[in-house]
């Protein structure tokens, strides 16, 4: 009996020591994140120094090399892993000036992967699409575009977001504006159908008819903010003008005042270039062939500098890795971080990784992905894994309450089918979880916009996410149990009335843009 008591006491003491060591590491993670944060410096170097990271550009390659160098400086093994090729392109200057009926410099930019104008630019009249009754009438008008800049977006009824109207307008005025806007939008959509084209296909028709260039305005419903994507023209410039200037030019043209624009949009074609994922890892000491993966896409659109999509997710993972290397240099399982390329073109980097590394995917303990914006994490779903609460619940319990009190969980949840890189792993049956953040007006103001810049980062929230991610990663790496991959029976879809099915893997696009 005495020996049994001694054994039980020794066991209790070892458990106590283990928990004390665990808590000590967690405390050090929190202290380092709050008192010695590298986030601001990393963010300034990446967003200001390198800038946007459009796939196929020298800036994307520069970012890949920068991240590898940072990891190596921290004593973490890192590499750039090629997964395909893309059209190489580099943005130059964009100057847009109205020279008649008066002179004014306009705010806008050339769209991605668009050919350069001549060095001296292009000068032409800006015209708007006519109202037509059918495609025959539009075809008869089409020769009028030759040598002209064509405005292809509708005229917005107001440049004020609805929240601004709700705060200041009378109810009657607000309702009147919305009715006028709805009527104008329906008229625009009907007229576009009458041309025989869509808002996507009409660009090519105008180019083939000899237009000097295409001008659009993709307003995001926020003050001074436009969505910036890629061009559809092959030989002529396509530009996005900010709402205020687009509306100015549109009104002048509609009143017959013949606005003349001079556009100089320089860019370089770089041929077919390699695309990369940046991978770094801290090798496991006991189970090196099992993996906890930190996940964030590295690429961005290039209207701004990709600060909240996905610079902040990138910073979270880099800072978490730095801290983990400092305080957990010999984790039980391998901790791997993937900075994926080509997410904006269809999760290509992460899809390529899961195709190329089935051995890693088969032995994933957990994937933690962060993407959507600068805010603190407020939602975590179990992604349809039946027992996800058992292990995520254990790990979340160790995270400070001032962080977890903001987080809503959904267990077991339903599997994500796209939207961010965790879906590439979920489709392969690997337990991968999106750390979804608070909006901070993400959809209107920074998602794929010209305002997605360093100044929009809320570093207190990003530090919050570093602590969350680092502790979850530490707990997952040290957990004595392997996570379950058992899937729930999915419910009936309210949209289709049929039982939902688990997503299936989609192949990576290994080359594109050419």
pLDDT in tens, 463-481: 999 999 999 999 999 999 9
Give a yes or no: residue 6 inside a domain. no
Task: Give me 23's structure tokens.
Answer: 């808590």
For residue 393, what pLDDT is reported?
97
* φ and ψ of 334, to 5 deg: -70, 130
Domain check: are 247 and 276 in the same one?
no
* φ and ψ of 280, to 5 deg: -135, 150
For residue 156, what pLDDT is reported?
98
Sign of the torsion formed by the C-alpha atoms of 325, 328, 332 and 336: negative
In angstroms and rounded to an integer, the radius of gyration of the C-alpha atoms of the chain is 26
- Whether the pLDDT of residue 12 is over 60: the answer is no
pTM of the predicted model as reported, rounded to 2 decimal places? 0.95
For residue 372, what pLDDT is reported?
87
The answer to whether 339 and 277 have CB atoms below 8 angstroms apart is: yes
Confidence of residue 3 (pLDDT cuts 50, 70, 90): low
Can you tell me whether residue 76 is helix, strand or coil?
coil
Give residue 492's domain range.
Answer: 35-88+272-512
Mean pLDDT value of segment 7-19: 59
- Whether the pLDDT of residue 5 is over 90: the answer is no
Confidence of residue 514 (pLDDT cuts 50, 70, 90): confident
Domain check: are 370 and 439 in the same one?
yes
For residue 2, what pLDDT is reported?
62
- Ramachandran quadrant class, 55 (left: phi over 0; alpha: psi -120 to 50; beta: rest): beta
Task: Give me 368's structure tokens.
Answer: 């933690």
CATH number of the domain residue 395 falls in: 3.40.630.10
Give me the residues paired with residue 102 across strands: none
Query: Distance (Å, rounded) from C-alpha 222 to C-alpha 447?
Result: 11
Match 């997710």 to its residue by tokens: 313
Give a yes or no: residue 508 inside a domain. yes
Give a yes or no: residue 174 inside a domain. yes
The answer to whether 305 and 448 have CB atoms below 8 angstroms apart is: no
* φ and ψ of 164, to 5 deg: -70, -40
Give a yes or no: residue 30 inside a domain. no
CB neighbourhood size of 408 (10 A): 10
Confidence of residue 207 (pLDDT cuts 50, 70, 90): very high
Domain check: are 340 and 476 in the same one?
yes
For residue 177, what pLDDT is reported?
98
Query: Distance (Å, rounded) from C-alpha 317 to C-alpha 320?
Result: 5
The answer to whether 236 and 172 have CB atoms below 8 angstroms apart is: no
CA angle 241, 244, 245 (to 5 degrees): 50
Give a yes or no: residue 46 inside a domain. yes
Domain check: are 68 and 147 in the same one?
no
CATH number of the domain residue 198 falls in: 3.50.30
Kindly state the helix (H) or strand (E) to which residue 408 belongs, with its residue range.
strand 408-410
Instruction: Note the Cα 239 to chain centre separation in Å.
Output: 22
**pLDDT digit string, tens, across residues 109-164:** 999 999 999 999 999 999 999 999 999 999 999 999 999 999 999 999 999 999 99
For residue 381, what pLDDT is reported?
98
Query: Distance (Å, rounded) from C-alpha 98 to C-alpha 261?
Result: 4
The answer to whether 351 and 411 have CB atoms below 8 angstroms apart is: no
Give a yes or no: residue 487 inside a domain. yes
Confidence of residue 14 (pLDDT cuts 50, 70, 90): low
Mean pLDDT value of segment 234-252: 98
The answer to whether 247 and 159 have CB atoms below 8 angstroms apart is: yes
Domain check: are 287 and 432 in the same one?
yes
For residue 439, what pLDDT is reported?
94
**pLDDT digit string, tens, across residues 269-325:** 999 999 999 999 999 999 999 999 999 999 999 999 999 999 999 999 999 999 999
Query: Distance (Å, rounded) from C-alpha 390 to C-alpha 259?
Result: 65
Domain check: are 52 and 176 in the same one?
no
Q: Please count the structural domains in the chain.
A: 2
Average pLDDT, the chain: 96
Of 338, 325, 371, 362, which Cα lies nearest the Cα of 474? 325
Give a yes or no: residue 16 inside a domain. no
Instruction: Cite the DSSP H helix spans in 82-217.
Output: 135-141, 162-168, 171-195, 202-208
Domain check: are 230 and 294 in the same one?
no
For residue 19, what pLDDT is reported?
84
Domain check: are 159 and 293 in the same one?
no
- Percent of the chain at pLDDT > 90 equals 95
Q: Which of 258, 292, 327 is the last residue of a domain?
A: 258
Domain check: are 376 and 414 in the same one?
yes
Domain check: are 232 and 292 in the same one?
no
Q: Which of 195, 229, 258 is the last residue of a domain?
A: 258
Confidence of residue 6 (pLDDT cuts 50, 70, 90): low
- Whether the pLDDT of residue 100 is over 60: the answer is yes
Residue 90 carries which DSSP code? E
Task: Encode burial over 295-333: b for 16+ CB neighbours within 10 A, e otherwise.
Answer: bbbbbbbbbbbbbbbbbbbbbbbbbbbbbbbebbeebbb
Q: How far apart are the first and last CA of the chain?
A: 78
Q: Which of 228, 258, 288 is the last residue of a domain?
A: 258
Give a yes or no: residue 3 inside a domain. no
**pLDDT digit string, tens, across residues 367-376:** 999 998 999 9
Domain check: are 279 and 230 in the same one?
no
Domain check: are 222 and 352 in the same one?
no
Q: To the nearest 10°, the Cα dihedral for 260, 262, 263, 266?
A: 170
The answer to whether 353 and 507 have CB atoms below 8 angstroms apart is: no
- Whether the pLDDT of residue 360 is over 60: the answer is yes
């Amino acid at each position: 009996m005495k020996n049994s008591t001694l054994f039980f006491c020794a066991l209790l003491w070892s458990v106590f020591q283990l928990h004390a060591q665990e808590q000590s590491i967690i405390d050090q993670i929190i202290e380092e994140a709050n008192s010695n944060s590298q986030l601001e410096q990393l963010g300034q170097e990446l967003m200001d120094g390198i800038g946007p990271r459009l796939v196929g550009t020298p800036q994307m390659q520069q970012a890949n090399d920068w991240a590898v160098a940072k990891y190596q400086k921290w004593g973490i093994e890192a590499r750039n892993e090629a997964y395909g090729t893309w059209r190489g392109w580099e943005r130059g200057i964009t100057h847009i000036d109205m020279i008649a009926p008066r002179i004014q410099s306009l705010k806008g930019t050339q769209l991605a992967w668009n050919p350069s104008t001549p060095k001296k630019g292009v000068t032409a009249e800006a015209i708007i699409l006519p109202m037509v009754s059918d495609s025959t009438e539009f075809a008869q008008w089409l020769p009028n575009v030759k040598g002209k800049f064509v405005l292809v977006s509708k005229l917005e009824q107001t440049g004020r977001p609805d929240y601004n109207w709700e705060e200041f307008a009378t109810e009657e005025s607000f309702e009147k504006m919305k009715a006028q806007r709805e009527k104008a939008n329906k008229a625009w959509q009907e007229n576009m159908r009458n041309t025989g084209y869509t808002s996507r296909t009409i660009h090519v028709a105008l180019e083939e008819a000899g237009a000097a260039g295409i001008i659009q305005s993709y307003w995001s419903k926020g003050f001074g903010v436009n969505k910036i994507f890629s061009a559809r023209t092959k030989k002529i410039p396509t530009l996005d003008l900010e709402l205020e200037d687009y509306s100015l030019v549109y009104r002048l043209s509609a009143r017959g005042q013949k606005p003349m624009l001079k556009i100089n949009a320089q860019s370089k074609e770089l041929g077919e270039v390699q695309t990369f994922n940046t991978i770094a890892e801290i090798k496991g000491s006991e189970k090196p062939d099992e993996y906890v993966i930190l996940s964030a896409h590295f690429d961005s659109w290039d209207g701004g500098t990709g600060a909240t999509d996905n610079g902040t997710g990138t910073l979270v993972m880099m800072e978490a890795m730095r801290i983990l290397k400092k305080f957990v240099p010999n984790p039980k399982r391998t901790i791997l971080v993937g900075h994926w390329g080509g997410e904006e073109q269809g999760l290509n980097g992460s899809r390529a990784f899961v195709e190329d590394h089935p051995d890693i995917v088969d032995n994933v303990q957990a994937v933690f992905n962060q993407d959507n914006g600068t805010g603190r994490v407020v939602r975590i779903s179990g992604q349809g894994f039946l027992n996800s609460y058992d292990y995520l619940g254990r790990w979340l319990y160790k995270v400070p309450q001032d962080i977890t009190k903001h987080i809503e969980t959904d267990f077991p949840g339903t599997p994500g089918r796209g939207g961010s890189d965790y879906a590439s792993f979920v489709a392969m049956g690997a337990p991968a979880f999106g750390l979804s953040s608070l909006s901070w007006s993400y959809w209107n103001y920074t998602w794929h916009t010209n305002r997605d810049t360093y100044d929009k980062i809320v570093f207190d929230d990003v530090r919050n996410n570093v602590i969350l991610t680092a502790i979850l990663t530490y707990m997952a790496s040290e957990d004595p149990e392997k996570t379950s991959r058992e899937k729930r029976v999915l419910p009936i879809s309210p949209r289709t009335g049929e039982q939902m099915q688990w997503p299936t893997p989609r192949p990576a696009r290994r080359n594109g843009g050419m």
